[in-house]
Amino acid sequence: MGLLVLLGLFAICVVIGLPIAFALGISALAAFAFEGLPLMIGFQRIVSGINVFSLMAIPFFIFAGELMFHGGIAIRLVRFASAAVGAVRGGLGIVNVFSSMLFGGISGSAVADASMEARVLGPSMIRQGYSLKRLPTVVEA
């Protein structure tokens, strides 16, 4: 019956337009109250879920990518990657992959890597004629 309360209240909250995070929280706390569990356990679980070091590291890695971009390190690494592999056909795409490898080694984070490369290589790839459309990941024969 507690599962019915959880899912039903979640569905109602979503239908009335409540944000998903609030709908999850409200329905979980209502299910706790319905089952007779102490609400303090629910709040302790919420806090322990938020207090994960990997979640705290994501904004810092994004900040590291922005520092690399504004400090000029990103442009220098992209120039190096362009000099190394940019002369072949599809060179800018290969430069993107090669510089991703370099930035991943420096920052250790794909999030910082993506935040920097979108700002550095995105406009130049559009100017070179790369499409904004996503390519299919599976080629049908």
How many Cα atoms sit within 13 Å of 24 on the Cβ side? 4
Considering the entire predicted model, what is its pTM? 0.47
CB atoms within 10 A of CB 112: 25
Dump pLDDT digits (tens) for 111-127. Answer: 667 766 777 777 777 77
Q: What is the rounded CA–CA span in Å between residue 32 and residue 10?
A: 13
Mean pLDDT of the chain: 78
Q: Which amino acid is at 54?
A: S
Categorize the per-residue pLDDT at 139 as very low, low, confident or very high, splitting at 50, 70 and 90: very low
Categorize the per-residue pLDDT at 36 as very low, low, confident or very high, splitting at 50, 70 and 90: confident
Both structure tokens of 128? 């070179």
Separation in Å, CA 5 to CA 10, 37, 44, 100: 8, 14, 21, 46
Share of residues in the chain with pLDDT > 70 (%): 84
Does residue 68 register a pLDDT over 80? no
